Amino acid sequence: MKFEHPAGLNPIDRLTVVGRPVDRIDGPLKTTGTALYAHERHDVAPNQAYGVVVGAAIARGRVETIDVRAARAAPGVLAVVTTLDVPRLGRGRMNYAYLFGGAEIQHYHQAIAVVVAETFEQARAAAALIRADYTPEQGRFDLAAEAGHAPLHGDGDEPVHRVGDFETAFAAAPVTLDRTYTTPDQSHVMIEPHATVAVWDGDRLTLWTSNQMIAWSKKAVADILGMPAEKVRVVSPYVGGGFGGKLFVRADAVLAALGAKAAGRPVRVALTRPLVINNTTHRPATIQRIRIGAERDGRITAIAHESTSGNLPDGSPETAVAQTKLLYAGAARMIAMRLARLDLPEGNAMRAPGEAPGMMALEIAIDEMAEALGLDPVEFRIRNDTQVDPAHPGRPFSYRDLVGCLRLGAERFGWSARDPKPASVRDGRWLIGLGVAAGFRNNLLTKSSARVELDRHGVVTVSTDMTDIGTGSYTIIAQTAAEMLGVGLEKVVVRLGDSDFPASAGSGGQWGANNATAGVYAACVRLRDAVARKLGLNATDIDFADGEVMSGDRRVPLGEAAGEGLSAEDGIEYGSLAKDYQQSTFAGHFVEVAVDAHTGETRLRRMLAVCSAGRILNPKSARSQVIGAMTMGAGAALMEKLSVDTRRGFFVNHDLAGYEVPVHADIPHQEVIFLDEADPISSPMKAKGVGELGLCGVGAAIANAIYNATGVRVRDYPITLDTYLDRLPRPA
């Protein structure tokens, strides 16, 4: 169905099931270990063998020979496939790196072989016996060294986005700011590594894999392996985290398929943590220059944001400037990105790509500008709010309440008690500071479909290839079907993550919840029509509630109406809606930190996020998403950094001992508030997404709080104590 606004009478608006804080229906399966993840699928095929991937020991060059004689002779080995055995394979949808095949090495730990054996231990031992000879080439691994001559990279058709005359307006502004900020390379480090079980049945391939986007991956596997898409099936009912690192097909899937073909057996492959970090994708580092000009009353008149990041040839930049086009008013604007060619592992999507690192810089700059103007940083943000797209004044936001987020957040957090003078508040040996930042993430509209079946027992079964990456997709999809068809959640069965099901939006970009449930809504509308036709009723005159179909005085149990069963399939499409309205989500992030005056140790005491994100489909799972994102933002601010060996071109700290991440126990108090709103233009669900909004801006709020606590401004992430220890005020 094509969604048009206004949508008219909408059964979702009853909110008897949707909008309720329902427990995750997959929770009992996950807590009892009965929700099987990709590498645990012993049940899908008998006689499975194990594959171990071998990565390249150079970052750029060629592999000349690979000696596999000792590996093939090792106990239990069934097959060895090397990159020299097959021609270079395709890259698949949106991949920038070649995953396998051919002699060219693009990056460190690029896969050069897979060893298949009866047991994992045998495969691992045999993989260690492989010897490869390389011809290394000089690579480029240092973003700072390459940034000065990195070419502009266009966003669409324009290499530089301009509105008005920035240079003139900036030069004329009474108060100006010109600062440079940096963010490092970061890794997704999801709990479940990339893993796949591959099974061939003649010329048909089935992959039980850990992947966020089933339809994308089905086509990508077909393209990479050069086979018809209809002969590929991808199954991923449970995903143990992805954060964008599993949007695309990676080496585990490709090499499991090749290994299974060579061994004549089903093969399971899981990437080791070093391969997850160096073989798969990561968030690229950025160097960002921000310039702001304003009148003395705080009105921004000129704003420019330029970002440089690196990637492989044919890769794309980290779009860290995207939010600056939309977040604040300002008549004169200039936005630009540069892309340096680097021979590091592939840079690609990581939770809130673009906005997450972009807000880390922009929201420090906004605080610095507020200080230069002598304004409270909350008030400065409010004065520069806008209800229209600044670059297209005729295009309004579908719904925007950033001001409401900031005002409510300031009230609930006790912002009025903040001392604006840095390093003024102490609690014993601790320096105390409060920080704020706006949050912003666009709302993306994506076609999504589902199939809904009704049986004679009144049980509703929903099938869609949507995935659940720990976000609660099973639950909100069940809530949608229950609301639309008037049944309890116990009467709904949800089947996800199978390419044999109708193609959904998939999980990523914060678009999954709104679009996937809208696709289920569309299928339910069609099923309601089918029920009405079968009963000889007008679809506009019936209601579904309490397991019955009702029209006037007539009441028919839903199972009876189904007869031997009914099925309907449909999807949601949005037409020009995304062009007619700017759709975005907003937040106010508030943080309290304590910094040890002697050691520089930083502790997070309190965090608050106030979110404006349309209708919240399930407040319990949405809160879980936001506090997880806030914790991830704390990691980005204080500890997460992939350290680059700029001589040999790889990430040195490629395990969870060297790449540190925070946990919820590091933060004593986290609070989330959702504004009570519905965006009727976003979809028939009137929802948006929050999974990435909770991350965008958090890092800057922490940085601003550290400045308020210490008087030391750090513009390079992560803010580790060595970056400011020598500048702390002397302890009393």
Side chain identity at 727, as an amino acid letter?
R
Report the alpha-carbon angle 354-358-360, nearest 5. 130
Interstrand relation of 267-270 and 286-294 (parallel, antiparallel or unpaired): unpaired
Query: How many Cβ atoms sit within 10 Å of the Cβ of residue 551?
Result: 16
Q: How is 120-172 classified by DSSP, letter by letter?
A: HHHHHHHHTT-EEEEEE------HHHHGGGPPB--BTTBSEEEES-HHHHHHH
Query: How many Cβ atoms sit within 10 Å of the Cβ of residue 191?
Result: 9
Please give the Cα distance from 551 to 403 (Å, whole number). Answer: 45
Please give the Cα distance from 254 to 214 (Å, whole number). Answer: 15
Give me the catalytic one of 192, 306, 569, 692: 692
Please give the Cα distance from 647 to 6 (Å, whole number). Answer: 59
Q: Work out the angle between the directed axes of helices 698-710 and 355-373 (0-180°, nearest 10).
A: 40
For this structure, is 368 an active site residue? no
Q: How is 282-303 classified by DSSP, letter by letter?
A: BBPPEEEEEEEEE-TTS-EEEE
Query: How many Cβ atoms sit within 10 Å of the Cβ of residue 560?
Result: 12
Please give the Cα distance from 699 to 320 (Å, whole number). Answer: 14
Q: Find where tokens 């940096």 sit.
A: 182
Half-sphere exposure of 433 (CA within 13 A, CB side): 25
CA-based torsion, 493, 494, 495, 501: positive or negative: positive
Read off the tokens for 173: 């502004």
Read off the tokens for 542: 């019936």
Please give the Cα distance from 11 to 34 (Å, whole number). Answer: 34
Please give the Cα distance from 487 to 544 (Å, whole number). Answer: 8
Please give the Cα distance from 414 to 608 (Å, whole number). Answer: 11
Q: Find where tokens 């950094």 sit.
A: 641
Q: Which of 438, 585, 607 is nearest to 509 (CA)?
A: 585
- Residues with Cβ within 8 Å of 326's Cβ and at least 6 positions away in sequence, in order, are 389, 390, 391, 440, 442, 582, 584
Instruction: Categorise residue 522: left if φ over 0, alpha if ψ from -120 to 50, beta otherwise.
Output: alpha
- Any idea which residues carry the catalytic annotation? 692
